[in-house]
């Protein structure tokens, strides 16, 4: 046997021994952890009888997740994303379990604490990340291409806080108004620094699909079992922001179908699509239908730009879909029942029927509210500042007398959160908001054209379309005030900026794989060892 052959055999033997030793260590670790937890079982049972097993299990779960974040900081990112996908910002009329998980609000005994649990989770995850970077002597924080627009936006927010404090703004309200801005900015930094592999992106979207499936089943439970298939006397079945996440899943399915069929996620999304559609219709949020149509239009334009060979088919598909959609709205706009609900909702935004008291009142309320906001801007052209109510020459209580009990912040944070920024932060803050949105959209379009990986192109198209949808819904339904929505948008922005690096990383791996393909019966690990030895 020749000398190189002997070396290859010895190298493969050493690799096998290393793998066997590692397997033994992992088995031993599992046994130690299992025995340790088993030995603590009597103590857990004893403590459970004193403080309650639900609280005990929650503490054990928090401890386990804390240890997981310490070991793998990316777990913190996944927990933040799952919280945005799955857990309600406040309790619902019909309990569905996830609305009573204390993530976006505290249990009664902890009310009044400055930061919410989700904020504590974000801060803790960042602290662990910084500790890891310090130990490795690496750069602590990377900023990304959207750092400038975000920094300008947050600088205006700080100005709104200081001006509000200086002019008699309510401190509690200032904290409430500040949170969504801080969550969006922190989520951007979290995603940009933590997402380092394409697999992280895929895991994120798996979480989005799985959680959408869970929420749709909860929606079916409320609609079919609790409400017995009727929405008479009911406004919604779930939180307002849930319809946006349902629309986002439908958008993802459409982009997969138009551009790149990543079959595992497409099949999973298609399996839950019927339940998602029913839950979305039953939740009765009109603006999300318009947002979805605009999101589909944006996605179609981007796919049309990058798939030049398929432009004819895309154009024909667009004509057919527009024709069928228009026919559906015209045919079902005056019908009753669930099948015509989306058509009636779309039409009612522009022209509600006289018999539809709910939609007509909602439209009138928003007209009054927008007029009040415009009046406030004229009186305070440089901005009102946080913590102070906007002026109401047309009192909103005249339209909705019970609004105070439904929304305690109704005169601080309006439905139209685009105008909210204009009122509180003035023209500079309003410019910073549009500069940020414009930067996301323009950068997303540029990145989409530069990417080579079709899956990453799907992600980029999706993020641009979602941003446009966020803007649309923000004009009508608290979109920039809901914690779940701004966290979701911030995470997507961080991933968007990271896509070019991931695309380059994937391309480099493909080149290395081709370069290291086995030849003449020599395995890849052994060939690499030979290469390093000869070098």
User: Are 350 and 414 in the same domain?
Assistant: yes
CA angle 302, 304, 308 (to 5 degrees): 125
Does the pLDDT at position 88 exceed 70?
yes
Across residues 19-46, what is the average pLDDT? 55
Any domain includes 218: no
Q: Is 390 left (phi over 0), alpha (psi -120 to 50) or beta?
A: beta
How many whole angstroms separate alpha carbon 222 and alpha carbon 500?
42
pLDDT of residue 44: 47
pLDDT attached to residue 24: 65
Does residue 84 lie in a domain region?
A: yes
pLDDT at 21: 60
| Residue 82 sits in the same domain as residue 171 | yes
> For 136-160, what is the mean pLDDT?
91
**In this structure, are 160 and 36 located in the same domain?**
no
Structural tokens at position 281: 């219709």
Q: Which of 2-6, 153-157, 305-309 has the largest mean confidence?
A: 153-157
User: Is residue 529 scored above 50 in pLDDT?
Assistant: no
Asked if residue 521 belongs to a domain, the reply is no
Residues 24 and 60 in one domain: no
- Closest of 411, 404, 346 to residue 384, by C-alpha: 411
Same domain for 350 and 495, yes or no, is yes
Residue position matching structure tokens 């540029």: 446
Residue of 65, 66, 47 whose CA lies nearest to 56: 47
What residue ranges in 319-445 does DSSP mark as E strands? none
pLDDT at 531: 40
CB of 135 closer than 8 Å to CB of 70: no
- Say if residue 131 is in the same domain as residue 74: yes
* Tokens read off for 494: 């961080």
* Same domain (yes/no): 30, 155: no
Report the pLDDT averaged over residues 5-13: 57
- Binned at pLDDT 50, 70 and 90, residue 18 comes out as low
Residue 354, pLDDT > 60, answer no
The domain containing residue 76 runs over which residues? 52-200+311-456+475-509
Alpha helices by DSSP H, 221-262? 242-258
Side-chain-side CA neighbours of residue 32 (13 Å) = 6
Most confident of 103-107, 180-184, 257-261: 180-184
Q: What is the pLDDT of residue 230?
A: 81
Structure tokens of 109? 């005994």
Q: What is the pLDDT of residue 242?
A: 94
Looking at the 3D structure of the chain, how many domains does it have?
2
> Are 337 and 390 part of one and the same domain?
yes
Candidate from 236-240, 341-345, 502-506 with smallest mean pLDDT: 341-345
Per-position DSSP letters for 309-324, written without gaps between them: GGHHHHHHHHHHHHHH
DSSP H helical ranges for 94-146 = 117-136
Q: What is the pLDDT of residues 318-337, one digit of tens each?
A: 899 888 888 888 887 777 76
Are 25 and 118 found together in one domain? no
> Is 264 within the bounds of a domain?
no
Residues 12/534, Cβ–Cβ less than 8 Å: no
Confidence of residue 363 (pLDDT cuts 50, 70, 90): confident
Whether 40 and 148 share a structural domain: no
**Nearest one of 370, 393, 427, 484 to 160, comparing CA atoms:** 427
The verdict on residue 288 lying in a domain is: no
The pLDDT of 139-143, averaged and rounded, is 84
Judge if 77 and 37 occupy the same domain.
no
Q: Which of 18-27, 144-153, 311-320 has the lowest mean pLDDT?
A: 18-27
For residue 534, the model assigns a pLDDT of: 38
Tell me the mean pLDDT in the region 385-391: 94
Give residue 42's pLDDT. 54
pLDDT at 239 over 70: yes
Residue 264 in this model has a pLDDT that exceeds 70: yes
Q: What is the DSSP string of 165-196?
A: HHTT--HHHHHHHHHHHHHHHHHHHHHHHH--
Contact 371, 395 (CB under 8 A): no
pLDDT of residue 148 exceeding 90, the answer is yes
Per-residue pLDDT, 85: 96
In the prediction, which pLDDT does 48 show? Answer: 47
What's the pLDDT at 528? 43
Rounded to an integer, the average pLDDT of 418-434 is 95
When pLDDT is cut at 50, 70 and 90, the band that residue 338 belongs to is low
pLDDT at 34: 53
Contact between 94 and 226 under an 8 Å Cβ cutoff? The reply is yes
Position 49 scores a pLDDT of 47
Please determine, for residue 37, whether its predicted confidence score (pLDDT) is greater than 80: no
- pLDDT for 330 equals 81
More confident residue, 421 or 62: 421
Question: Could you tell me the two tokens for 222?
Answer: 């409320």
pLDDT band at 9 (very low <50, low <70, confident <90, very high): low
Q: What is the mean pLDDT of residues 519-532?
A: 44
Residue 81: exposure state from Cβ atoms within 10 A (0-12, 13-18, ≥19): buried
Res 134 pLDDT > 60? yes
pLDDT, residue 533, reads: 37
CA 490 to CA 149: how far, in whole Å?
A: 13
Question: 472 near 294, Cβ under 8 Å?
Answer: yes
The pLDDT score that the predictor gives to residue 476 is 87
Please state which of the ranges 36-40, 211-215, 358-362, 372-376 shows the lowest mean pLDDT: 36-40
Q: Say how far apart CA 78 and CA 72 lie, in whole Å.
A: 11
Give the per-residue pLDDT at 527.
Answer: 43
Domain co-membership, 39 together with 64: no
- Residues 157-214: tens digit of each pLDDT: 999 999 999 999 999 999 999 999 999 999 999 999 999 999 999 999 999 999 999 9
Is 366 in contact with 331 (CB distance < 8 Å)? no
Q: Which pLDDT belongs to residue 353?
A: 63
Nearest to 8 by CA among 517, 534, 529: 529
Whether 10 shows a pLDDT value over 90: the answer reads: no
Average pLDDT, the chain: 84
């Amino acid at each position: 046997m020749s000398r190189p052959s002997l070396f290859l055999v010895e190298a493969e033997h050493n690799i096998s021994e290393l793998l066997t030793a590692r397997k033994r260590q992992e088995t031993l670790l599992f046994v130690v952890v299992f025995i340790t937890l088993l030995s603590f079982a009597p103590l857990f049972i004893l403590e459970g009888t004193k403080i309650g097993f639900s609280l005990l299990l929650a503490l054990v779960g928090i401890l386990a997740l804390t240890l997981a974040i310490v070991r793998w900081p990316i777990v913190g990112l996944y927990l933040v994303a799952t919280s945005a996908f799955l857990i309600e910002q406040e309790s619902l009329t019909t309990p569905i379990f996830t609305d009573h998980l204390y993530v976006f609000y505290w249990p009664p005994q902890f009310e009044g604490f400055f930061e919410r649990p989700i904020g504590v989770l974000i801060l803790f995850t960042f602290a662990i990340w910084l500790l890891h970077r310090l130990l490795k002597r690496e750069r602590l924080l990377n900023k990304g291409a959207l750092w400038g627009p975000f920094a300008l936006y947050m600088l205006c927010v700080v100005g709104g806080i200081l001006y509000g404090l200086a002019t008699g703004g309510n401190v509690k309200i200032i904290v409430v108004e500040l949170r969504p801005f801080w969550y969006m900015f922190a989520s951007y930094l979290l995603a940009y620094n933590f997402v380092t592999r394409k697999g992280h992106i895929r895991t994120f979207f798996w979480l989005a699909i799985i959680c959408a499936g869970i929420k749709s089943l909860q929606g079916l439970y409320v609609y079919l079992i609790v409400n017995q298939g009727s929405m008479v006397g009911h406004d919604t079945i779930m939180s307002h922001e849930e319809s946006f996440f349902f629309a986002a899943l439908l958008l993802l399915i459409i982009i997969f179908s138009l551009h790149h069929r990543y079959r595992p996620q497409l099949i999973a999304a298609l399996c839950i699509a019927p339940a998602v559609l029913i839950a979305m219709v039953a939740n009765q949020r009109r603006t999300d239908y318009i947002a979805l149509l605009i999101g589909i239009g944006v996605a179609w334009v981007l796919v049309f730009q990058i798939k030049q060979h398929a432009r004819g088919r895309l154009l024909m598909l667009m004509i057919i879909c527009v024709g069928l959609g228009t026919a559906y709205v015209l045919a079902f706009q005056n019908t009753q029942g669930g099948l015509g609900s989306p058509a009636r909702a779309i039409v009612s935004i522009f022209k509600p029927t006289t018999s539809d008291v709910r939609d007509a009142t909602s439209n009138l309320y928003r007209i009054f509210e927008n007029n009040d906001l415009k009046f406030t801007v004229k009186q305070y052209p440089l901005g009102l500042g946080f913590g102070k109510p906007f002026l109401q020459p047309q009192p909103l209580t005249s339209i909705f007398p019970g609004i105070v009990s439904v929304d305690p912040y109704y005169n601080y944070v309006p439905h139209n959160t685009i105008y909210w920024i204009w009122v509180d932060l003035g023209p500079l803050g309003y410019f910073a908001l549009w500069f940020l949105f414009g930067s996301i959209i323009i950068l997303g379009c540029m990145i989409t054209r530069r990417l080579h990986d079709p899956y990453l192109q799907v992600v980029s198209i999706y993020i641009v379309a979602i941003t446009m949808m966020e803007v649309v819904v923000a004009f009508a339904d608290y979109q920039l005030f809901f914690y779940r929505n701004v966290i979701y948008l911030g995470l997507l922005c961080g991933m968007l900026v990271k896509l070019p690096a991931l695309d380059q990383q994937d391309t480099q791996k493909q080149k290395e794989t081709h370069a290291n393909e086995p030849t003449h019966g020599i395995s890849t690990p052994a060939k690499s060892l030979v290469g390093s030895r000869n070098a």
